[in-house]
Amino acid sequence: MTKVQISACQLSVRKVSNFDEFANQVDYLLENTPKDSDYVVFPELMTVGLLGSFSNQDELTAADLVKIDEYTQNYKDLFSEYARDRNQIIIGGSHLEKRDDKYFNIAYIFKKDGSYEEHKKTHIFPAEANWQTSEGEDLTVFDIGPAKIGLAVCYESEIPEISRILSLKGAEIIFSPSYTFTEPGFWRVRHCAQARAIENQIYFVHCPTVGNPGEPLPDGYGASSILSPCDTQWPANGVIKEAELNKETVITATVDLDELYDNRKNGAATTFYDRSRQEHIYSKYEPYNEM
């Protein structure tokens, strides 16, 4: 059996006056995270509280959120150091970063040696247009640690093609750093995350930003969860572990990768293969040409 331990750090965003305050918040969560977890994941746009560090913060609006790009190197250095010191793979949520003349919402996987891989969010939630955010164009499966992993940042989990491509490319676990501003927004991502786990017979880890930081920052709403396909190997509702709603906390659970492959062949529902079995039917229809 291939056992994998996963921890999700549910961060409560708040305005901070300097980078050290933000680092202390990360440190608190990691102090409560087992060092033997194979993967640790933080939520989307976890650095937004740094907007409070600017002297003119009272004059800033949501459109100014891109100013946190000034802390990009600090953010990378911090998580690289944590990954090295803890000898742990850390998915550092995501951060707004400028590349040439564009801003991207970029999720990073920090490896045990301090190096990192990145994923630019490919589908921007409509509200992100306020932040001048551009969309990435690549979907990658990373063979880092004991599992093959993919990233689907928040709204990307609502786009079924993302997780399907990642699972066909070999992803066994998809991590979804998330930042949903309302209760309906949270449940959209959460329900879609569960659907993606069922459709592709994979594990899906949803880790949202929570908290009420005050204008111009959006509130966060949600509860982290480690999800499975709904079958007899796992809890009937598919929820392996779930965090307390809207609380800064850490959840940890162990999953078995071998159970995924057995489930794909012998499960009550074999959706991973069955989604391709009738492709000759799907090919008769061309919905995208009609849009």
Catalytic residue positions? 44, 121, 154
Q: Kindly report the CA angle at 245 between 242 and 250, in degrees rounded to 5?
A: 55
For residue 114, the SS3 value is: coil
H-state helical runs in 15-171: 19-31, 72-86, 160-168
CA 98 – CA 67 distance, rounded (Å): 10
DSSP state letters, 15-40: --SSHHHHHHHHHHHHHTS-TT-SEE
CA torsion 81-87-89-91 (nearest 10°) is: -30
CA 5 – CA 203 distance, rounded (Å): 12
Instruction: Check: CB of residue 259 under 8 Å from CB of residue 240.
Output: no
CA 46 – CA 154 distance, rounded (Å): 13
Q: What's the one-letter identity of residue 117?
A: E
Going by C-alpha positions, the residue among 90, 83, 50, 44 that lies closest to residue 69 is 50
Going by C-alpha positions, the residue among 186, 197, 275 that lies closest to residue 235 is 197
